[in-house]
Every structure is written in C-alpha cells, then in structure tokens.
A and B are shown apart, each in its own frame.
Chain A
Amino acid sequence: MINNKHNRLAMIVVLMFGAILLFVGTDGFKAFTVEKARINKLMEENPVFPEVTIEDSKERVYPFSAFEGKYVMLTFIYTACTDVCPELEMNLYEVYRSIPEKYIGEDIVFLSISFDPTRDNPATLEKYRQYFNSDGETWRMARIPNQTELDNLLNEFGVIVIPDQNGHFQHNSAFYLVDPNGILVEVMDYTEVEAAADKVTSILTTEVGE
C-alpha cells in the first residue's frame, strides 16, 4: 500500500499545480480572454491620454488637450474596415443619441480616431462620418498623422492593431471614456450599447450635475 500513498501524494501535487496554473493564467478566474485581462488592467492603471496632435475631418489640426475640461468618448477605427468598425460606430451613434442633449458638446465630445492615417485623410473621414450621422463637431472623426504619436497612444490604451496583407487590420474594439483631465476612466463593451449609455450618463450626472 506504499504505492497508494505515493499516488495520493502525486495526485495532490498535480491538483495543486493545476489550481495554481489556472488561477495565475486567468488572474484568479477573472479573465479568460486577453481582452478581458486588458480591460481589467486598464481600469486599474488609468493611463493618461498622451499628448498627440490630431487632424479631424474638417482639416483642423489641434492637440488632444483642446478637449481639456470635457469628457471624451473614444473609439479606434479605420474606414476601410468592413466588419467590426461599422458596428462599433453604429453602436457609438446609439450611445451618442441616448445621452441627454444638454451634455453633448458642452461636457462630452465624441471622437473616433483612425489608426490608418495614410489612407484616412480628412476627405475620407469627412465622407465616412456622414455614414454614421456624425456632425463633425460634437462627434468628430480624426487621424493622428504622426505615426510615433499614434503608436504611443495605441500602446498606452492597449489597442492592438495588426495589419494584414490585404490592407486590413486585425484589431480589438471598445468604447473608451477619458475624463476632463485626460485620464482614461472607463473601458466599455461596445456591444452593450445600453449599459455604456447608462454608465456615461450617470458619470455626467454625478460629475457635471443636472
């Protein structure tokens, strides 16, 4: 029966190893996908929006700090995208519509940033914004012409963009909310439009007031 004892001990060791492996591998059973892990980490770290110069669909060029004092609701897109981005932008439009009008433009600005600056010039963005009823003012579409600045931002906000051979990109998507000080405060599931709209509205109501 000596063998039995060894077997039992081996089993305990194996089970403990398994529990630790799965615990560590999923951040304590909280994140089974990389995307979830990324969002959890972002919400803990609250990175600051780095200083970048953006150029919008109206050919205006300004630093991101021009939005200081306002919340900024962000998405990252490229206009040649045929699957996720249109859905992302449609959903952003739904959120835009659901937020009380008095806050729009005053306390919150919507901004869709293209990570394909070579193709998404102001003219392309101008056309693209019209597909989603964006007014180009309170919901702007813009590119970051400087690749270094763009990469830095994507890196800070954990946006993974992988170009493929056909001029398309593999990328992850979410709604990002940056507070009036330029700090990332919320990363929201872009498929849950209502939850995102409720969250943004409640933040505006508490922070800005009725």
Chain B
Amino acid sequence: MKQAIYGLVLYIFLMLPPVVTLAESVMAIHMHMQMPLFVVAGFLMAPFFQKRFPNFFAKWNSNGVPGIILFMIIVLYWLLPRTMDEALTIPAVEIFKFISLPFLAGIPLRDSWKKLGSLGKNIIYVSLSVLFGVMAWLYIASPTQLCNNYLIVEQKTLGWGFVFLALAIMIYFIQTLFIDKSEYE
C-alpha cells in the first residue's frame, strides 16, 4: 500500500502547475520524462485499485491481453506530434493526458504484465522498440517543424532520445533470451 501512496504523491506532484510548466517547456522532457512518469505514477497506484476491485481485473483482464492493448493504444496516441501540441493549447487534451497515462496505461500495464506469457512480453518488447525506432526516424529526419510549440532542434533531441529508448528496450529484450533469471534468484 505504501507504493500506492508514493504513486499518488508522484501523481499530484506532476500536476502542480509549476511542475507542469517546467516539464512541458522542453520537448524531450515533456515526452521522455513527464509522460513516462505519469505512467509510473499509475503503475505505483495500481495495487490500490487491484485490491479494491479484484473482480474487475480478474474478470475483464484475466489473460492480460486487453490491458496491454489499452496500454499500447494510449502510448501510440501520445506519440503523435499533434497530441503533444494540443496538450499545450487545449485544456481538455491536457486533462486527458493526466488521466489517460496513469489510469489507462500505467495501471493496465502493471495488471497485464504478470499475466502475460513470455511470448506476449516478447511481442511488446519488439513492437515498442520498433515503434520508438520509427518515431526516432520521424523526429530526426523531418525537415519541418512537427510541433508548433517546439523548435526543430528540440525535435531532433527528442528523436535521439527515442533512439536510446529503442536500443535500451532491444538490448533488454535480447538479454532475456540468453539469461535465465531464475538462476540468480
């Protein structure tokens, strides 16, 4: 339960107006820090909801597939250049960001991850790194400004962030194929 409280504290902290302004002033921080931290906040808060509504998760997400698909949809949505721009200019989109990332991505991810078999996990590793690779290419190679609120140079920085993210996930995935974790437990 302690975790859920930490998650809640993190969630509230991220929504404080000065924190929001600071996090959104730099494109790479907006995409690579603020958004993932919202997912982390939801991830930490998940046990509270799992204990509160055990039946709901058992009934509707017994094999983890619906939850992980929901997670991927929300991630995909927030990767679009347009949504990032609109989060800055349209309050409703900003509020949707605050709700969707923790509750529709963070919580389902945690609930689904344990239920997924290794095949499911591998599919997620590969598709996330491919997706981030494509985003890296898009943000680095685009000759025009994709977001009206951010400069091209920031866009390229963001793209390189995606390169590292994609590589990190790929490396982690490859090591899971060779290293048997149970030997070290």
Contacts and interface: CB of A to CB of B under 8 A. Distances in A.
B148 A160 contact: yes
B73 A14 contact: yes
Interface in A105-153: none
A14 B70 contact: yes
A14 B69 contact: yes
Interface residues of A, number: 31
A37 interface: yes
Q: Is the interface of A mostly helix, strand, loop or mixed?
A: helix
B145 A26 contact: no
A3 to B, nearest CB: 4
A174 B150 CA distance: 17
Contact of A7 (B65, B77, B89, B147): B65
Contact of A11 (B66, B143, B144): B66
Nearest to B88: A34
A7 B82 contact: no
Contact of B82 (A4, A11, A14, A25): A25
B83 interface: yes
Interface of B: 58-63, 65-66, 69-70, 73, 76-77, 80-83, 85-86, 89, 143-152
Lowest 7 CB-CB distances: which A-B pairs, in order? A18-B73, A10-B66, A34-B85, A3-B62, A10-B60, A11-B66, A14-B70
